[in-house]
Amino acid sequence: MYQNGLQELTVERPLSLSYFIGIGFDEEDMIGVLDYYLTYKGVMMAFIFIIGFPALFAYRMYLRATKNQDK
């Protein structure tokens, strides 16, 4: 959500997840920005990157360990 004088705009733009952590952004990029939030697509991508990929990797390692124990 941007504010330009008295006018407020809601604009969908690409945004790095580092903005939510608080690293890797410039103060100049945030001039006029009232608020920012993830869209539904962004929430799903964050879930997949934070939970999904590590879970798949752990499951793969578990399967590999049980396969090696059977031999």
User: How much is the pLDDT for 5?
Assistant: 73
- pLDDT band for position 8 (cuts 50, 70, 90): confident
Owning domain of residue 59: 40-71
User: Is pLDDT at 2 greater than 80 in this prediction?
Assistant: no
Backbone conformation region of residue 25, classed left if phi is above 0, alpha if psi is from -120 to 50, else beta: beta
pLDDT tens digits along 18-67: 666 667 666 776 777 777 777 888 889 888 988 999 999 999 999 999 88
- Whole-model pTM: value is 0.54
Q: Are residues 19 and 31 in the same domain?
A: yes
Q: How far apart are CA 65 and CA 18, in angstroms?
A: 34
Same domain, 71 and 45: yes
Residues 1 and 18 in one domain: yes
